[in-house]
Structure 1
Amino acid sequence: MTQYNHQSAPTQFVDAAGIRFAYRRFGKSGGVPLVLNMHFTGTMDHWDPAVTDGLAHDREVILFNNAGISSSSGEVPNSIEEMAANAAVFIRALGLTQVDVLGFSLGGLVAQELALAEPALVRRLILVGTGPRSGEGMASLTPEAQEIFGATYDEPDHLWLRVFFTPSQASQAAGHAYLKRFRQRTVDRDPGVSDKVGPAQIGALTKWGAPRENPFDYLKAIKQPTLVVNGDNDVIIYSVNSSILQRHLPNAQLILYPDASHGSQYQYPERFVGHASLFLSE
């Protein structure tokens, strides 16, 4: 094990393709590292330490900010393909030749494209709260997402209670517990994202979600074993999209967590870590 965890891992930098990527590494070294790809407008500090430290018990975990995000330099790409190309450049800049990849939401789109473009680089794939090209309700932000992101909140962090969790009492209680964990790291936190990030990422999401002919055929080329995870009531990227992924990927299994929305892995962190760790160790 390295001496670091989610709270203490220092922010490091690596230069590649004219970009200075910010990243953090921690966990058990020696096996295939797990590289995490973040959601819309998120930074390394938006990951739940209950998830990252849980996964790091058995493997090395690598968090990073893609180009133009927070402490990484460069411009935010306006396509998923460019984001995936940047992710590949970053992974190779660390001297890695094979990784497992976890993508959450927008990061799940990047993870799909990375697995498609770099099949020798990606061993296994975990797709959380995400969907396929031209997925249902993915041509723009869903009406629910537009309302949630457009609302005002007494405390800014309370946005995530609506993005990631259902309105039920149990889910909201899990959300408040997540917010406490989310703020545990107090030193060397990432700066917030710039105003350029949201529009660029929405542009990338819109291109990915646009209707096209035979939209799911590309999934047949993603041969890596894949674990698809979501809540049963995701209003940000509708849960049906997880089912579409599982049906069209050649080697995929699906887990839907009950009374859960977009952040199901944060509502059930121990359960998710158990499922993900079992999948990665197979």
Structure 2
Amino acid sequence: MTQPDIASQDVATLETAPTLYIEGNGIRFAYRRLGPATGNPLILLQHFSGNIDAWDPAVVNALAVDRPVIAFDNAGVGRSTGQTPDTVATMARDAVDFIDSLGFLEVDLLGFSLGGCVAQQIAAEHGQLVRKLILVGTAPKGGEEHLLAVLREAFSQTDVPDPRLPLFFTNSSASRSSGLAFLKRTKVRKDDRDTDNGSAVTDPQAKALIAWCAAPDPGHAILRAIRQPALVVSGSHDTMLPANNAYAMFKELSNAQLVLYPDSGHGALFQHHETFVSHVRTFLDSQPAAE
């Protein structure tokens, strides 16, 4: 399917690409785009409390070697205008407005954590827009979450350099070492960094994620409406959105693959970034099986 031209960002990285802006349905969205000028775009949907600079450059830059990759702030997040919604459905609507504003007719989605919930909603409602989706460290509607308890525990650990270390990684020395390397990578960019809007983002996002998991979804209607190929990924010891969510999604999705990474928490994609990128590339580049 023909896509609109994307300004070439072949030499740009997440750390160096300029932050761009585009208007969509009354919202001024902030975004960065990397990779070649042609190909099916991969849209990144971020985790609870995260902005563009919370993505791991090791993941984003590697994925952008051979495809267009776009990281953006949804409504109210970072430098995007508007108010952060308190429902996944509204977040999905805003994300679709952003995609539409860029003129894309077909995209792939990579949704991490809360972003994975948003990706499910988009894929279920916009079958023609989404070609494939990657769901990482997330949960189905009606799934299991321990957001507030895990956040309280993480922020009580005053001896750690960043709460993402206990939130995203396990207590093993190998996982902690990977976590420190991840944190270092996310801080490389010094100029034009994204902004943290605090509770104006986290309060409604927490409400949205908790409500998504608390709401029953009889017959798994959302998952069964998703007909696109899906790659479901989780860490073995995800304390925020446990790995049994990944297995539940894998069972109910009509065309899914499941990958579980060892000795890893919510940030398994950052700890095992080389393997994760390899899995994503293989998945996105594979042709659908003949029926």
After TM superposition, the score normalised by the length of structure 2 is 0.92
Does residue 1:65 correspond to 2:70, yes or no? no
Go from structure 1 to structure 2 and tell me whether the alpha carbon gap of 1:4 and 1:213 turns closer, same or farther (over 3 Å shift).
closer
Partner SS state of residue 260, structure 2: strand
Partner SS state of residue 62, structure 1: strand
Partner SS state of residue 21, structure 1: strand
Q: Could you list the runs of 5+ residues in structure 1 that have no partner in the other structure?
A: none
Q: Work out the CA distance in 1 between the residues paired with 2:14 and 2:223.
A: 33
Does residue 1:151 correspond to 2:179, yes or no? no
Equivalent residue number for residue 79 of structure 1: 87
Q: Work out the CA distance in 1 between the residues paired with 2:215 and 2:104.
A: 36
Q: Work out the CA distance in 2 between the residues paired with 1:269 and 1:212.
A: 33
1:117 is displaced (CA, Å) by 1.3
Aligned residues: 278
- Kindly provide the CA deviation profile for residues 64-116 of structure 1, in whole angstroms up to 9, marking residues without a partner as x: 00000010000001100000000000001011111000000000000000111
Q: Percent identity?
A: 45
1:34 is displaced (CA, Å) by 0.2
2:62 paired residue among 34, 38, 54: 54
Contact 1:124 1:225 in 2 (8 A): yes
- Kindly provide the CA deviation profile for residues 181-223 of structure 1, in whole angstroms up to 9, marking residues without a partner as x: 1111111110112321111011111221114252523211100
Contact 1:34 1:101 in 2 (8 A): yes
Contact 1:142 1:235 in 2 (8 A): no
- Kindly provide the CA deviation profile for residues 130-149 of structure 1, in whole angstroms up to 9, marking residues without a partner as x: 0101112x3x626334322x
1:279 paired residue among 277, 283, 287: 283
Partner SS state of residue 216, structure 1: helix
1:125 paired residue among 110, 133, 158: 133
Does residue 1:232 correspond to 2:248, yes or no? no
Q: Work out the CA distance in 2 between the residues paired with 1:62 and 1:31.
A: 12
Q: Could you list the runs of 5+ residues in structure 2 that have no partner in the other structure?
A: 1-8, 287-291
Q: Work out the CA distance in 1 between the residues paired with 2:148 and 2:197.
A: 22
Go from structure 1 to structure 2 and tell me whether the alpha carbon gap of 1:89 and 1:177 turns closer, same or farther (over 3 Å shift).
same
Alignment of 1:1-282 (within 5 A): 2-136=10-144, 138=145, 141=147, 143-148=149-154, 150-151=155-156, 153-154=158-159, 157-212=161-216, 214=218, 216-282=220-286
- Kindly provide the CA deviation profile for residues 45-66 of structure 1, in whole angstroms up to 9, marking residues without a partner as x: 0000000011001101100000
Contact 1:35 1:62 in 2 (8 A): yes
Q: Which amino acid aligns with 1:180?
A: K
Q: Work out the CA distance in 1 between the residues paired with 2:215 and 2:26.
A: 33
Partner SS state of residue 8, structure 1: coil
Go from structure 1 to structure 2 and tell me whether the alpha carbon gap of 1:213 and 1:224 turns closer, same or farther (over 3 Å shift).
closer
Q: Work out the CA distance in 2 between the residues paired with 1:71 and 1:184.
A: 19
Q: Which amino acid aligns with 1:153?
A: T
**Which one is further off, 4-13 or 211-220?**
211-220
Q: Work out the CA distance in 1 between the residues paired with 2:278 and 2:133.
A: 16
Partner SS state of residue 263, structure 2: coil
Partner SS state of residue 117, structure 2: helix
Contact 1:134 1:215 in 2 (8 A): no
Q: Work out the CA distance in 2 between the residues paired with 1:198 and 1:215.
A: 30
